[in-house]
Structure 1
Amino acid sequence: MNKYQEYILSVLNDHELLEQLAEEAAELSQAALKLVRASGYSNNPTPVTEQEAEANLEEELYDVLAVASLLAFIDYNDDENPKWKRWAERLGMKVEKE
């Protein structure tokens, strides 16, 4: 577990993490639906390209995995996930500029 994950867990309780998981899951659902439209599987077009939609879906999937791992639902340990640092900073962690 990296310092960002530890900080997040020191600030948020399980209730708040479950709220975050629900939000991330909803965003994952939206991203999957956007990919359907961008891929041309729907008659409802979108200005988002298929590549952009795929990248967004991947990002949202990693966000769901990150939160689920903090809740110990899964074993996901990707210290390189940029979600950790962004999330910790939003919660008030002072991070040195790189």
Structure 2
Amino acid sequence: MPGVPSASGSRMWSRWRDEITFDRLQKVGRMADQFAKPRSNPTETRDGVTLPSYRGDIINSDAFDEKSHVSDPEMLIQAYSQSASTLNLLRGFARGGFTDLQRVT
């Protein structure tokens, strides 16, 4: 399939990477996103309507209405639960040998 690297192509890139840097590199993945967003202004205005700023999915919703922009503590609890689930999944992968870099291409 065009544009999709093959396993042998992936090994080739790994060899080139090692030769260019003279060292092994670690592969790093991002397992989460930014739940809270700092804002410089406490409010935002659209079409003459001023509401509290959207501060991220852990605090309030991004829909621009009064109910959505009020801080909701339940969102914090939900984010904590989702984070704990993600960590438990990663622990399971680690115990099952799925984090072995030889298996990652």
Q: TM-score, normalised by structure 2?
A: 0.30
Considering fraction of residues, name the structure with more strand. 2
Larger RCO of the pair (alpha carbons < 8 Å, separation 6+): 1
Q: TM-score, normalised by structure 1?
A: 0.32
Considering fraction of residues, name the structure with more helix. 1
